[in-house]
Amino acid sequence: MEFETKCLHAGYQPENGGPRVLPIVQSTTYAYESTDEIGKLFDLEAAGYFYTRLANPTTGAVEEKIAALEGGVGALCTSSGQAATFYAVLNILEAGDHLISSSYIYGGTYNLFAHTFRKMGIEVTFVDQDASQEEILQAVKPNTKAIFGETIANPAVKVLDIEKFSAVAKELDIPFIIDNTFATPYFCRPIEFGADIVIHSTTKYLDGHAVQTGGVIVDGGTFDWNNGKFPQLSEPDETYHGIVYTEKFGQAAYITKARVQLMRDLGATPSPQNSFLLNLGMETLPVRMDRHYQNALTVAKFLTEQKAIKHVYYPGLESDDNYALAQKYVPNGLCGVISVEFAEGKETAAKWLDALELVSLEVHVADIRTCALHPATSTHRQLTDEELHQAGISPGLVRLSCGIENVTDILADLQQAFDKLEG
C-alpha cells in the first residue's frame, strides 16, 4: 500500500458485516473462559487483550497504523507526547546512565531531560545540532546509552542532520531516538535515514484537529540490543519469570518491553476514545500536510518582506540556513510552523500578536486552524536566558503555525496586524 492508502486502511480491516469505521472499544477489560487462558496472557505466552492499560483493540489498530506509516516493527501509544519521550528513554536508560541530546528540542522535552531525569540519576548532555561528528563524539561518556534529536525542531524550525547523528550512534553502538512530530511520517521517515526509535506527540499533526493529547513510540526493529550495553533487554526480567526480551520478541524486544513493563508499571495509557479521534485525524494526514506546507511557504515568503521582521526561520525558503538539509530529509514538504524574529524584540512581538484577529493565540501548534505563540513568555517560560539561547529561542521569537484556511485570509490578518504596528 502507498502512504496515503495506509493512512486510511492500515491497522483495521472490517470483518464481513463489521463496522466500516474503526470502532471504539470502550472497555477496560476482556472476558475469558478459563484461568489457564488468562494465565498464559500474564506470562506473555499468548497474545490477547486482558486490560486496557496494556492493550486495547482501538488503540492497537492505531498503533499498527502508525508503525506502518513510519516503517517500524511495532508501536506503543501513550497518553501524551511527554509520556512517549519519557518511556522511550526510560525503557533503556536507568540511574547512572547518560544521554546525548540535540539542544534544539521542544521545551517540555528540555525540562524532562535537564531536570527530571537528573533527579532520577540520568544525566543529559546537550549538543549543538550543527556540531560536527567529532564534536558530538566529545560529549560521549563510557555510560552513554542513547542519542536524541528532533527531525524539525520545535520551535526553532531547524532540520536535523539525521544521518550525522545516526552515524555517531552507530559508531558507539547505541540507539538513536528521534522526535518526528513536526515532520510527520508523510514528509520524513527517520528509520530510512538510520534512526532506531521514532516518537511523536500525536497531539500535533497526526491528530491535527486539536481534539486529543497523545504520544507514540515506534520501534524500528533496527537495533541489536545484544551488545552487552542493555541488560534490561538482553538479560532475564524477573517480573516475567525470567523472560529475556531479545530472545522471546526478537526485533520487537524494545517495544514489547515498553508495553509490558513500563506501561504496566507507570500506566500513561491513552483512552480508546482518544485513539479513535487520533485515527480519524490520521486518515487525512497527507491532504492536510500538503496544504499546511503550501500555506506556510506562502506565509513565510510574505513575512520575509515585512519591515518589522528581522528573520524568518522556515527551511522551505531558499535563503534559510537549513534549506539544503530540508531538501535532503524533507524534500516533499515541511510542517506549517514558521518561527519569526521581530526586529524590536518582545514588545513589538506582543503588540503584533495582540492585534491578530483570525489567527488565535494559543498554546498549541500543528492545528488545522492557524495559531500563534510567543515561546519566551509561554512554553519556554521556565528557561533561563542562557537555556533559551541554547534552544535557539530569543525574546522576540514568535511561532506561527499555519493552518489549512484559504491563505488569502491568513495573509490579510497578518497584514492588518502589521499595519497596526505602524499606527
Ligand X SMILES: *Cc1c(COP(=O)(O)O)cnc(C)c1O
Footprint of ligand X on residues 361-420 (CB under 6 A)? none
Is 104 or 342 the residue whose CB approaches ligand X more closely? 104
Sheet harboring 371-373: ordered strands across? 309-313, 337-342, 397-401, 371-373, 360-361
Q: Which helix (H) or strand (E) holds 110?
A: helix 107-111
Is 106 or 193 the residue whose CB approaches ligand X more closely? 106
Is 109 or 166 the residue whose CB approaches ligand X more closely? 109
Q: Which helix (H) or strand (E) holds 106?
A: none
Instruction: Give the binding range for ligand X (CB under 6 A) out of 79-87, 117-125, 268-276, 408-416.
Output: 79-87
- HSE toward the beta carbon, residue 312, CA cutoff 13 A: 24
201 binding ligand X? (CB under 6 A): yes
Q: What is the sign of the dihedral through the CA atoms of 82, 376, 405 and 152?
A: negative
Question: Using an 8 Å Cβ cutoff, are 333 and 174 in contact?
Answer: no
Is 80 or 256 the residue whose CB approaches ligand X more closely? 80
Which member of 23, 108, 345, 395 binds ligand X (CB under 6 A)? Answer: 108
d(CA 298, CA 258): 41
Which member of 150, 161, 219, 367 binds ligand X (CB under 6 A)? Answer: 150
Which member of 58, 80, 91, 212 binds ligand X (CB under 6 A)? Answer: 80
CB of 167 to ligand X, least distance (A): 23
Can you read off the three cell numbers belonging to residue 120?
532520577
81 binding ligand X? (CB under 6 A): yes
Which member of 56, 58, 82, 279 binds ligand X (CB under 6 A)? Answer: 82
Which member of 58, 129, 166, 213 binds ligand X (CB under 6 A)? Answer: 213
d(CA 232, CA 318): 46
Footprint of ligand X on residues 308-327 (CB under 6 A)? none
Contact characters 153-192, ligand X, x per CB under 6 A: -x------------------------x-xx----------
Long-range contacts of 347-350 (CB under 8 A, 24+ apart): 348/308, 348/396, 348/421, 349/374, 349/395, 349/396, 349/397, 349/398, 350/374, 350/377
Instruction: Give the binding range for ligand X (CB under 6 A) out of 6-14, 65-73, 102-110, 322-330.
Output: 102-110
Instruction: Give the binding range for ligand X (CB under 6 A) out of 46-54, 198-206, 244-252, 308-316.
Output: 198-206
Q: How far is CA 193 from CA 163, 164, 189, in A?
A: 6, 10, 7
d(CA 337, CA 201): 15
Would you call 247 helix, strand, or coil by DSSP?
helix
109 binding ligand X? (CB under 6 A): yes
Residues lying near ligand X in the complex (CB under 6 A) are found at 80-82, 106, 108-109, 150, 154, 179, 181-182, 201, 203-204, 213, 215
